[in-house]
């Protein structure tokens, strides 16, 4: 495996194999599988789960990792091409990227969206500028519009909890949050659920529609796997027979890059906080998922997070297991 | 071993076994004992020795660790229950704790006392709120009123230096320090020396008495092991025949949570800086111990730290060895 | 090996052995060589390559490491001897150094020059004060006037690219940079190239002469190995038939410790930015080296860094391999 950048690059069979491998490594540890192997971890954006789970994954497989983030060093990292570096940045990514990569057998890279221009973000301009500089295999640890490690973990989490792939009803719901957040997780989640063959509804207020390009990508995946994709701003309609509600806040696409316009619109939707009243016509066993971190009482009520619907903790643990499977395939002897 | 939280949870025989194991691992390394095992390290309070020694301990046993501290992330961690998280904190400990723990086979947790209310601190309210969220085995890396890793290392250090358990004379002395410090180390040290069977004197100025509950716990431990516990503000009386002086500054218990009251009182005791003149009637070979970090010329004179009495460096190294023994029992195959 | 502090402490045969070992470990990994061994890493100065490459090196050899830097802790570290520590620093290096070292089988130490007094820096006063406190083997990860890991990597890089040792023409060139930088890399590089037997020219503007003591050390090394050392401010003369140009900015030695005097002088030399026009009379295959980080458009033109002359990326990767060889000799079973 040369890159783990987008679930769309893998067939459903390949994904099933990765998930089976993740489960096997959980039950039957292989502490020598990646003996002496090194994963470089570059965090241009902050992290808790990703930071912890990748380090733990490498140890469990017998290897190790190191972490580089710009705040660990006086060296600011310059990203603009062709610039005369007489300011504060002491190093350019054109040197930093290949050097950091050269110390590892693979590199994980996290770089959130700039959220100035939606076309640049959709094109993954920044992330591609980074990975173009790297010869080793790489892992997308969250880019402007993708988060494949989260999606692989989410897919496994639904398998673990017996949520059907074909015919399963999946609601991806926008939720209120005081800040304008990236679209990476909703983009990846929408595609993942459609690719898994589920009937997916995107539930969001007007002004928070996901970009048409993402909807098309999901519809195309659904078409191949027997699923479907719809969108609505009607909660009751969306939640009908739902087996999963996956909550996540994201930026207004109508006001993308316009902080004040976004804020004005989102503050009209303070009531988009998932609580038990949402589940009236859902499947009785409907589960709650979220990628974390999550704001209690804002995105979701305590009663949900602390009750039997929530599977956010096993979902988070699956990050480690899913990544172990990816690393095993990417760096293992049989690779 | 499900938890290493308090030396009081272990019999003297169990402690001797841990110390024997620590010594054995020092002489006969077992670099495969914890192959592929992961220790999660959560530092809600800062650290140097604990941070370094736990990471080193895991490597020496063939495993590894990862470190999470709030300042490594933009995510502030919220601890208050039932709160609407519309402020700066992006994550609640109710999610963060079980997730971080789920990536490890055990978790080490450090959270200093809040030092607002002595009863809350004595009850370990905050630390218990953290460990209650965790299913994996855990290690207390210093809580409001305990520091069992330091105490196990200190016990071993006295064994290493031939300080007798029964009949050994141990002085725990308050010392001046410009800041009001937690009671965790004096609390743990007092109990440890009493449990070891020593004749323990707490030497401190008025207003710096240790809480009666701690004194009672130590007296009870002493009663079981043949030791004794007394307290005084008379240096000469305390140091008579002393074989160990263990210096440590701590907050005034009379002015607990009252910074100005504490400061006014402590500044009357600038002369509580251990120097050679303290040892006039002590045992000729009386040794000096301190958990470090220590302020030279403030808590203790250079002549002591740089002279033959000081055993603070082997004491600090024993942190690593003691923790290796705990980890080996907690995570090893025979556990 | 008790210390890796200065290339001058090793014969050319010993250096060749280290480089051969580095190449062997690259081709034939030994992920069990340092099983359970720990490298303590103390960064009193910031780092990217050194931080990453040492951690990666230890993982590749089956061991591990931990990192301590003052900004990871509230503990400021006091370095002045005999001081009363009633200020902000909570710990003295006299405790911190031996404790940190005691958790490892070896320690790597980085501490840049103070750049107040050139004699103190030349005498390595500060670095020696640190290593004097340590019993374990140690590695100089850059001191006031040395950087032996960089030099070993540079030597190997020239071997890898077929640059002749005896008779090879090496230009160490000053370059413009907005800040006054330490002399450690030019000092180490000058000596390394001379010791390798090359004909070395130091190319620098007036006021940026390297200290006579460094020139003497290099001349003496050259005398033993059949090389030569000259200096000039004439670019064309220096570059004649050059096979390597090694660019690096450094402080004015005429204005050492005088920031404004240094700045005034260096700003007269904004044109010392290596570009293709420098190579008119150089060897056709003349290569460009730099220790990184490097400021594009300031120290060197993009056309050089992005063109075939540059070998800075393999040079940086050789840091890891060279250090693996040092660690293998220092900590391996046969050591």
Q: What pLDDT sits at residue B72?
A: 66
Tens digits of residue pLDDT in C252-272: 999 999 999 999 999 999 999
SS3 state of residue A29: coil
Assign domain C3-146+319-331 to a CATH class. alpha beta
Q: Are B104 and B98 in contact (CB under 8 A)?
A: no
Smallest Cα–Cα separation from A159: which of A84, A216, A244, A227? Answer: A244
Q: What are the backbone dihedrals phi and psi of residue A41, each rounded to the nearest 5 degrees, phi first?
A: -120, 115
| pLDDT computed for residue C73 by the predictor | 55
Q: Are the beta carbons of C78 and C144 closer than 8 angstroms?
A: no
The pLDDT > 90 percentage for chain C reads: 93
- CA torsion through residues B85, B91, B93, B94, sign: positive
Burial B127-144 (b: 16+ CB within 10 A, else e): bebbbebbebbbbbbbbb
Choose the closest CB to C95 out of B30, B47, B312. Answer: B312
ipTM: 0.96
Q: Percent of chain B, pLDDT > 70?
A: 98
pLDDT in tens, B4-50: 999 999 999 999 999 999 999 999 999 999 999 999 999 998 889 99
Residue B294: both structure tokens together: 């220590």
CATH topology of domain C162-310: Rossmann fold (3.40.50)
Please tell me what DSSP assigns to residue C211. Answer: P
pTM: 0.97
Q: Give the distance from residue A280's alpha carbon to the nearest chain B alpha carbon, in angstroms.
A: 24
Residue of chain B nearest A301, judged by CA positions = B84
Position of tokens 């990471």? B55
Query: pLDDT at position B207, please?
Result: 98
What angle do the packed helices A184-195 and A148-160 form, to 10 degrees?
A: 50
A43, A69 contact by CB (below 8 A): yes
Per-residue model confidence (pLDDT) at position C245 = 98
**Dihedral-angle region of residue B218 (phi above 0 means left; psi in -120 to 50 means alpha; beta otherwise):** alpha
Over residues B188-195, mean pLDDT: 98
- Whole-Å CA distances, A195 to A12, A151, A201, A218, A227: 8, 11, 13, 7, 7
- State mean pLDDT over B251-268: 97
Quick: pLDDT tens for C125-168.
999 999 999 999 999 999 999 999 999 999 999 999 999 999 99
- B contact set with C (CB within 8 A): 29-32, 46-49, 51-53, 55-56, 58-62, 64, 178, 292-298, 302, 305-306, 312-313, 316-317, 320
The dihedral built from the CA positions of residue B7, B13, B14 and B15, taken in this order, carries a sign that is positive
> Which residue, among A73, A74, A149, A157, has the nearest Cα to A110 in the 3D structure?
A149
- Picking from A48, A60, A302, the nearest residue to B38 by CB comes out as A60
For residue A109, give the 3-state DSSP assignment. Answer: strand
Supply the pLDDT for residue A77: 85
Q: Quick one: pLDDT at residue A335?
A: 43
CA–CA gap between residue A54 and residue A42 (Å, rounded)? 11
Q: Residues in chain A whose beta carbon is closer than 8 A to a beta carbon of chain B?
A: 29-32, 46-49, 51-53, 55-56, 58-62, 64, 178, 292-298, 302, 305-306, 312-313, 316-317, 320
Q: Where are the domains of chain A?
A: 3-146+319-331, 162-310
| Cα–Cα distance measured from residue A202 to residue A195, given in angstroms and rounded to the nearest whole number | 15
Q: Which residue has the tokens 């010993």?
A: C14
pLDDT digits (tens, 9 = 90+) for B40-82: 999 998 889 999 999 999 999 999 999 998 776 556 788 889 9
- Mark out chain A residues that contact chain C at CB-CB < 8 A: 35-38, 40, 63-66, 68, 72-75, 78, 82-86, 90-92, 94-96, 98-100, 102-104
Indicate if B162-310 has the same CATH topology as B3-146+318-331. Answer: yes
Rounded-to-10 torsion of CA C213, C214, C219, C220: 70
CA angle B84, B88, B89 (to 5 degrees): 70
Name every chain A residue with its beta carbon within 8 A of the beta carbon of B135.
Answer: none
A120 vs A129, A133, A145, A189, C230, CA distance in Å?
12, 19, 10, 20, 52
Q: What does the alpha-carbon distance between residue C193 and residue C142 come to, in Å, rounded to a whole number?
A: 18
- Which of C59, C298, C312 is opposite residue A85, by nearest beta carbon? C298
Per-residue pLDDT of chain A (335 residues; tens, 9 = 90+): 999 999 999 999 999 999 999 999 999 999 999 999 999 999 998 889 999 999 999 999 999 999 998 776 556 789 889 999 998 889 999 999 999 999 999 999 999 999 999 999 999 999 999 999 999 999 999 999 999 999 999 999 999 999 999 999 999 999 999 999 999 999 999 999 999 999 999 999 999 999 999 999 999 999 999 999 999 999 999 999 999 999 999 999 999 999 999 999 999 999 999 999 999 999 999 999 999 999 999 999 999 999 999 999 999 999 999 999 999 999 997 54
Distance from CA of B10 to the nearest CA of A (A): 30
Q: Given the structure tokens 């930093």, which residue do they identify?
A: A96
Q: Nearest C-alpha of chain A: how many angstroms from C43?
A: 11
Say which CATH class B3-146+318-331 falls into. Answer: alpha beta
A243 backbone dihedrals φ, ψ, rounded to 5°: -105, -25
- For chain C, list residues with pLDDT below 70: 72-75, 334-335
Which residue on chain A is closest to C312 by alpha carbon? A95
State both tokens at B36.
């592929």
């Amino acid at each position: 495996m040369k890159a783990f950048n987008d679930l769309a690059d893998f067939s459903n069979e390949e994904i099933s194999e990765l998930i089976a491998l993740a489960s096997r490594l959980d039950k039957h540890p292989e502490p020598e599988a990646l003996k002496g192997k090194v994963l470089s971890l570059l965090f241009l954006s902050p992290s808790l789960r990703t930071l912890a789970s990748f380090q733990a994954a490498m140890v469990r497989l017998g290897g190790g990792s190191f972490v580089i983030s710009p705040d660990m060093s006086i060296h600011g990292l310059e990203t603009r091409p062709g610039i005369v570096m007489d300011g504060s940045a002491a190093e350019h990514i054109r040197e930093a990227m290949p050097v950091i990569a050269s110390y590892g057998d693979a590199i994980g890279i996290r770089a959130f969206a700039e959220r100035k221009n939606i076309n640049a973000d959709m094109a993954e301009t920044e992330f591609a500028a980074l990975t173009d500089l790297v010869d080793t295999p790489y892992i997308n640890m969250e880019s402007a519009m993708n988060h494949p490690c989260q999606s692989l973990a989410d897919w496994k989490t639904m398998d673990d909890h017996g949520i059907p792939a074909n015919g399963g009803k999946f609601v991806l719901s926008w939720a209120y949050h005081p800040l304008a957040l990236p679209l990476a997780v909703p983009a990846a989640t929408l595609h993942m659920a459609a690719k898994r063959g589920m009937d997916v509804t995107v539930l969001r207020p007007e002004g928070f529609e996901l970009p048409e390009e993402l909807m098309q990508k999901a519809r195309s995946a659904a078409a191949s796997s027997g699923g479907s994709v719809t969108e609505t701003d009607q909660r009751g309609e969306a939640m009908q027979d739902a087996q999963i509600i996956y909550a996540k806040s994201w930026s207004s696409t109508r006001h993308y890059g316009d902080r004040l316009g976004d804020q004005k619109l989102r503050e009209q939707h303070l009531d988009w906080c998932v609580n038990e009243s949402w589940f009236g016509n859902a499947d009785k066993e409907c589960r709650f998922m979220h990628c974390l971190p999550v704001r209690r009482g804002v995105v979701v009520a305590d009663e949900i997070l602390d009750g039997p619907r929530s599977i956010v903790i096993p979902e988070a643990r699956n990050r480690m297991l899913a990544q172990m499977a990816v690393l095993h395939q990417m760096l293992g002897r049989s690779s």
